[in-house]
Amino acid sequence: MKVRVRLFAAVREAAGCESVEIDVPKAATVGEVRRRLAERLPAAAELIRRAMFAVGTEYATDATEIPPNADVACIPPVSGG
């Protein structure tokens, strides 16, 4: 199935786009999306490994299953002061 992942902050800057579409097997988890996204965007891979993911309006763990047509977001850690 295809999953569209919206990218935010430094991940979006490193990727040079606002979202990407990746192919994952049915019943894929956030962990699988994280792995495939890091492979697809090597310039952002380290940020993706540390990022939070949201499915719909809820933060998700790597074990969270991605339902069909879900809205998935990759939100990297932020710093500031």
Eight-class DSSP state of 29: B
Residue 80 falls inside a structural domain: no
Express each pLDDT in 66-81 by its tens digit: 998 899 999 998 765 5
Residue 8 falls inside a structural domain: yes
> What average pLDDT score do residues 52-67 get?
96
- C-beta of residue 22 within 8 angstroms of C-beta of residue 5: yes
Three-state SS for 56-75 is CCEEECCCCECCCCCCEEEE
Residue 56 falls inside a structural domain: yes
Residue 27 falls inside a structural domain: yes
Instruction: Look at the chain and report how many structural domains it folds into.
Output: 1
For residue 80, the model assigns a pLDDT of: 57
Residue 51 falls inside a structural domain: yes
Q: Which regions of the chain does DSSP assign to beta strands (E)?
A: 2-7, 19-23, 52-55, 58-60, 72-75
Q: Is the pLDDT of residue 41 over 90?
A: yes
Express each pLDDT in 1-35 by its tens digit: 999 999 999 999 999 999 999 999 998 999 999 99
CA distance 16 to 54: 20
Quote the domain boundaries for residue 31.
2-75
Residue 81 falls inside a structural domain: no
Q: What is the CATH number of the domain that holds 54?
A: 3.10.20.30
